[in-house]
Structure 1
């Protein structure tokens, strides 16, 4: 299991477009990917679960990646977050 945190920098927070892109990115991963925020956890591969977190600018998301290719998946997701969130 690998984990990392990411602070949302987008002034609009995690609205539909970036949430959809994140879900699409994580769906390519063979690992299980979960996101936590303020005590709530969501399956990152499910768009409505990600949007349900209600992440706003300056919120810190915690990602947990578990699986056979967790190192590669974690690196890909972290790079995606830095570019898009």
Structure 2
């Protein structure tokens, strides 16, 4: 299992477009990918679930990734969070 923690730097937090981009990236992988925020787990492949979390600027999120391609998935998620949000 891979675990990655990020602090959201986007001024708008995780709104519709970033959630859609993140979910699209997650769906490319076979691994099970969960985003945790404030003690609640969200299906990272579902943009509506990600938006419902209410993540704002400077909030910390955690991705838990498990599966055959977990390393590649973790790197792809990190790239999206750090460079596209």
- Which range, TM-score by smaller chain? over 0.9
- Equivalence for 1:16: 16
| Alignment RMSD (CA, Å) | 0.7
**Cα distance, 1:2 vs structure 2:** 0.4
Q: Which residue of 1 aligns with 2:5?
A: 5
* Distance in 2 between residues matched to 1:19 and 1:73, nearest whole Å: 16
Shift of 1:58: 0.2
In the other structure, the counterpart of 1:58 is 58
Alignment size in residue pairs: 85
Partner of 2:35: 35
Runs (5+) with no aligned partner, structure 2: none
Give me the TM-score of the superposition, normalised by structure 1.
0.96
Structure 2-normalised TM-score?
0.96
1:5-56 Cα distance to aligned partner (Å, 9 max, x none): 0111011110001001001010111111100111111010011111111000
Runs of 4+ with >6 A deviation = none
- Alignment of 1:25 with 2:31, yes or no, is no
